[in-house]
Amino acid sequence: MKKTLVAVAALAAATGAMAEVTISGFIDQAWNTTRTTTGAGQSTTVKSLGHNAIGQDALRFSASEDLGDGMKITAGVNTIFNSTTGSGAVALDAGSGLTLSGGFGSVYLGQGYSAMWNTMAAAEPTQYGPGVGNVHAVGNGGGYGNAVAYTLPALVSGLSVTIGHGPGEVATGYGDGTDVAVSYNNGPLTLATAYGTSVASGAATGFTVTPLVGSVPVTQEAITAGSRSTAQAFTVAYDFGMAKVFAGYAMLKTGGDNDQKANSSNYGISAPLGNITFALSFSDAKYTEDGGTTASATGVRLLAKYNLSKRTYAYVQYGTQTNKLSTGASGGSATGNGIGLTHSF
């Protein structure tokens, strides 16, 4: 449920009218236990209380104005933080920016999740994000960044097309990037695809293709000025009523003297049973470094959540991950579980 505040004198004086600001947020708190084992067999267990088992603690502010002639502008500020430890700075997240919408579609300027991130998230039944067992987060480019995005008007029911362009913002690095996301939702069927490309503006260190948990030694490549990196993703989901199935595939290639590559896939199912929803996903990823050495990771995640209300649920989550090197040696493994409670407002 969203709360609304009325801005006071300063805003009224600046705009000549009162403005309504909508405040919403999300809190996730869980007792988490993670056990990580290196390739040499050394194990470490860490227990913690905090967010990120399902989602990040967030506080959002938004305000909108009707500009007339069917146009509307919306301003948003989305912050993420750790409400348990209080450590680290409050950071701005995707959704912080301005959206101008109308019959022409919509234009967004600010921070947004990448087309790859949104596409792969559509294929994850156990909540897309960090945590043991999620090894298919390939090609996100950090998940989000500054960009200008244009979403076409809905010419066909259920069809959405968004074109985004992000500036490189540094003299040496990946350079400007462009991506396209297309999704189609028609009743029980969801289809989504994304493609992104960028050309390096100068010599820099390439991306890291190390799995999220464990100790697989996959190195970085020095990308060269003018080299091109590409990313692609495809997902499908179908709701049968008694259960919903998901599948996704992603590919990433960064340009340089010796290309680094990564690809991943995942599939899973979710099924409601009264107030309880069960979800299970399987994923795998393969990473190839600049020297041709490969590493792989496989993961499994299980989630059971109980709806206490439309905005509150309790959950239990369990995940495993196993990493292997091309030599056949172990690259480490991990298991993790969490018992938590979430509330959105």
C-alpha R_g of the chain: 21
What pLDDT score was predicted for residue 253? 81
What pLDDT score was predicted for residue 15? 52
Measured in degrees and rounded to the nearest 5, phi and psi for residue 314 equal -100, 150
Give the Cα separation of 320 and 35 in Å (integer): 10
Measured in degrees and rounded to the nearest 5, phi and psi for residue 310 equal -70, -20
Question: 68-89 b/e with 16+ CB inside 10 Å = b?
Answer: eeeeeebbbbbbbbeeeeeeee
* Opening angle at CA 210, ends 205 and 211, nearest 5: 155
Structure tokens at 153: 């008007």
The answer to whether 320 touches 132, Cβ cutoff 8 Å, is: yes
What pLDDT score was predicted for residue 10? 44
Closest of 179, 58, 56, 55 to residue 124, by C-alpha: 55
* Opening angle at CA 15, ends 12 and 18, nearest 5: 40
What pLDDT score was predicted for residue 13? 46
Give the Cα separation of 20 and 7 in Å (integer): 6
List per-residue pLDDT tens for the chain, 345 residues long.
Answer: 455 554 443 444 455 555 689 999 999 998 989 898 887 788 899 998 887 667 788 899 999 999 999 999 999 999 888 777 655 556 777 789 999 999 999 999 998 888 888 888 888 899 876 678 888 766 544 455 788 999 999 889 999 999 999 887 766 666 678 899 999 999 999 999 999 888 776 655 554 444 444 444 444 556 667 777 888 999 999 999 999 999 999 988 876 555 677 888 999 999 999 999 999 999 988 877 666 667 788 899 999 999 999 999 999 999 998 888 777 667 788 899 999 999 999
The answer to whether 138 touches 123, Cβ cutoff 8 Å, is: no
What pLDDT score was predicted for residue 210? 46
226 to each of 49, 202, 255, how far by Cα in Å? 45, 7, 9
The answer to whether 340 touches 53, Cβ cutoff 8 Å, is: yes
* Residues composing the chain: 345
111 to each of 95, 149, 164, 184, how far by Cα in Å? 6, 10, 11, 24
| Domain 31-52+105-344 of CATH type 1.20.120.80 | no
What pLDDT score was predicted for residue 158? 94
Closest of 243, 320, 324 to residue 282, by C-alpha: 320
Question: How many other C-beta atoms can be found within 10 angstroms of the C-beta atom of residue 251?
Answer: 18
DSSP states of 212-255 as a string? Answer: SSS-------EE-TT-EEEEEEEEEEEE-SS-EEEEEEEEEEE-
What pLDDT score was predicted for residue 220? 52
